[in-house]
A and B are shown apart, each in its own frame.
Chain A
Amino acid sequence: MSTILDAPRPRVNFSLLSRFICKPVCFVGRVEKVHSTGKTFTLADGEGQCVSVELNDALEEELSGIVEVIGIVSNKGAIIASTFTMLREERGILFDLELYNEAVNVIHDFPQHYPFDAAESG
């Protein structure tokens, strides 16, 4: 699904998922559990809420730490991932998930300053 990467995908946390059903989003969270099949795993956002992520192809490697997932939100509030990235710890600097969560909230609290639609058309 390379087309998903053409469209802007707003960064969301758990509480915002409901607003983006059937839309592409970017979700960053900490890996909580990986299903034995390797086709689904849960991520916890900065507020501790968990989201289920479904993959088309099973995971090939061990997944841990902070992961960024781009995908579409399903009706049940899970994310059907098209691509994901593991954010590796860099020089001992840990990813501050709470801070990221605050930033995400700011983005959505001030849509006039963070226009996603304009980016899409422009």
Chain B
Amino acid sequence: MSVNLTAGAIEALFNECPVENPVLQVMNIREYPPGKQGHTRYRLKLSDGVRSLSCFLLASQLNHLKEAELLEPNCVCMLKKTISSYLAKKRVLVVLDMDVLQTAADVGGKIGNPAQLTDKTADQQEAHRSTSSSDEIPGPSGYDTRSSCENSGIKSSLMKSSWKGSPVKGPGMPPPMKASPVKGPGMPPPMQASPVKAFGMASPVKRSGMPSPMPASPSPGPSQSPTKLTPIDDLNPYVSNWTVRARVTNKSDVCNWSNSRGEGKLFSFEVMDESGEIRITAFNSEVDKFFSLVEQNKLPIKRFTSLKNDYEITLGANSRIVPCDDDHDVPTVHYDFVPISQLEAKDPESIINVIGVCEEAGEVSLITTKAGKPLFKRALELTDASGKTVTLTLWGDKAQRFDASCHPVVAVKGARVSAFGGRSLSAPFSSTLMVNPDIPEAFELRAWYNQVGHGLCSQSLTEVRSPNGEFRTNWKSLSDVKTEQLGHDGKGRGECWSLSQLSTGQEAGHTLNWLPANRRAHRDKQPHPQSHLGAYYFSSVATVVYACKENALYRACPAGSCYKKVQERDDGRYHCDKCGKDYPVFKYRFMLSVNLADFGDNMWATCFQETAETLLGLNAEQLGHLKDTDEDAFNEVFQKVYFSSHIFRNRVKLEMYNDECRMRVTVMDVLPLDHRQYSRRLLNSVRALARDN
């Protein structure tokens, strides 16, 4: 395959005339010793068959092309994006994107006989070099293959590591026009729509493919405030000292950390203008300076003197942010929301934007993290026009500040997809939560919800959890309890698990729906229920078929948390063996025996105070009063509970009672049965079983 070089391209590039995807041949590649960050840069000499120019600099994200030996002298390539810049007053054309069309081996030799297009300061030292002999020299004929004029007059002055923006860490050529989510080390992962840290281009939100070099707008000298604004799209590490005018789209909270290297804090925010978006991070002292200045939807003008990463800005000591008031031409925020129904297709740990109506919000709960620090959390049910619902977890400030009244429309930018409970969402620290935002998607969603959505019973992608919320419910049917001999110590599958076993998920027993490995992902340090030796916890859907009303109540010691049964004395006082004291009164407490049944089996269980109260619908005192006064009403209470179905969270344990060893089941929790969720769970199980067979 013969490739034609774009004649005249070199001259055009040099003169900053637009050239569309010029095809050029690489004459030479020079490696430059690492600059401050220790990265190799490659300087290219490219030719179009007529002229050659050696002031091309390969953007470091393309370094792999050279290192993989795709890019070598004599290969032919197409420049897709270049930027013209100045480094220490020398002209440099940075190649930001290119394709290798033909490797050097295929090309065979130098095409044409290009003359060096020089910069003013070039020395010309020609060294002759014999070409690799080859017969096929494609390209404009009429030139013979002569030894290339290698320009060994190294314009080293051009390559002084004097540029402030230091090059990027790590390889990886992003597909042009797209940014893919990548986790930055230690930093909150960037979002799908916004630029990736240390990679890729600025978000292609409003991007036009531009192969021609764009004139950078560097400002002379740091002390002078530049009057010219740079579009965000044009930002790259090769310019220093520029000004950007953009709208703040997202602002994260201040995050403090301490590691072996000391402490620090940071906050980040994203801005966008009509050319694109970019994320800006401020550390330590800059946090104090800028945190209050930067507010969502306001319009700061930023001026920086240093750029830490490609396409992600770090505010340096000399940076300035000035809020500006006129926002006529800076566009408002743009998001790419993922419909909830598509979340199943998303990988866990991916970052997406989502918008939905908050149908339900749990209470704010305080949990303790692994590090021992208290953390607030709150679970919301979000539903959208796709007809599906998902649970979104808010943390910290967001959890506390959230106002769930009136079914607000909630938009989250930067939510993380998790595999917990199927699919669920988490709003990590770096994400932004907007309640009833002023965007068209929100209005559409509100309209949809008012007309249709509120009546829909959408299916949740997140499995139902027990109110503790932290672990996945361990569903067992009552027949399972018998057949699997749950709660028996040391008996095969009925064995209880130690905490370490649980956390490694080793004996997950895939055939049984036991504690899934995703529990590992939980950072809460709540003592695991199954950590009690000998006790097994599970949940069941069951119906009460009998409740013993005779011995439902017992007389208990009135003192604090002593629940011991008291003996009535002759003098009408009540004696507690545990306290060793006599009391004039007693307290009624529940110890209700119930028989629970499901499709497979039935079992006896005991409900103590709280669970009995929930089940019967009144407290012990009230029932005690009825027992003493109104027998019919007392009976009625029990009548009502017969054949009522609930979700029972039970504990089964081997217990000693008067030298007798029995399996005792205690009801830890009684929850209302949501038939829809139960049905869904059953349907999913059926389908899962069918798939596995």
A interface with B by C-beta (< 8 Å):
93-94, 96, 98-99, 102-103, 106, 109-110
Contact = CB atoms under 8 A, between A and B. Distances in A.
B578 interface: no
Contacts of B38: none
Given A106-B687, A109-B690, 11 more contacts: A93-B676, A94-B455, A96-B676, A96-B679, A98-B457, A99-B457, A99-B459, A99-B679, A102-B683, A103-B679, A106-B683
A106 B455 CA distance: 25
Interface in B456-471: 457, 459
Q: SS class of chain A's interface: helix, strand, loop or mixed?
A: helix
A99 B683 contact: yes
Interface in B648-693: 675-676, 679-680, 683, 686-687, 690
Contacts of A94: 455, 457
Instruction: Please list the 6 inter-chain residue pairs (A to B) with the smallest Cβ-Cβ separation, ordered nearest first.
Output: A96-B457, A96-B676, A102-B683, A99-B679, A106-B686, A94-B457
Contacts of A103: 679, 683
A119 to B, nearest CB: 16
Q: Which has the most chain A C-beta neighbours within 10 Å: B455, B457, B690? A: B457
Contact of A110 (B457, B675, B690): B690
Nearest to A94: B457
A103 B383 CA distance: 23
A111 B457 CA distance: 28
Contacts of B686: 106, 110
24 contacts: A93-B675, A93-B676, A94-B455, A94-B457, A96-B457, A96-B676, A96-B679, A98-B457, A98-B459, A99-B457, A99-B459, A99-B676, A99-B679, A99-B680, A99-B683, A102-B683, A103-B679, A103-B683, A106-B683, A106-B686, A106-B687, A109-B690, A110-B686, A110-B690
A28 to B, nearest CB: 14
A102 B459 CA distance: 12
A76 B202 CA distance: 61
A101 to B, nearest CB: 10
Q: SS class of chain B's interface: helix, strand, loop or mixed?
A: helix
A102 B687 CA distance: 10
Contacts of B690: 109-110
Nearest to A99: B679
Interface string B535-561: 000000000000000000000000000
A21 B457 CA distance: 32
Interface string B445-485: 00000000001010100000000000000000000000000
Contacts of A109: 690
Nearest to B675: A93
Contacts of A93: 675-676
A93 B678 CA distance: 14
B389 to A, nearest CB: 12
A88 to B, nearest CB: 15
A4 B514 CA distance: 45
A99 B455 CA distance: 15
A122 B548 CA distance: 37
A37 B225 CA distance: 83
A66 to B, nearest CB: 12
Interface in B85-134: none
Nearest to A107: B686
Contacts of B679: 96, 99, 103
A96 B687 CA distance: 19
B453 to A, nearest CB: 13
Contacts of B455: 94
Nearest to B686: A106
A80 B502 CA distance: 58
A94 B679 CA distance: 14
Contacts of B687: 106
A114 B527 CA distance: 43
Contacts of A99: 457, 459, 676, 679-680, 683
A65 to B, nearest CB: 12
Contacts of A102: 683
B251 to A, nearest CB: 40
Contacts of A110: 686, 690
Contacts of B683: 99, 102-103, 106
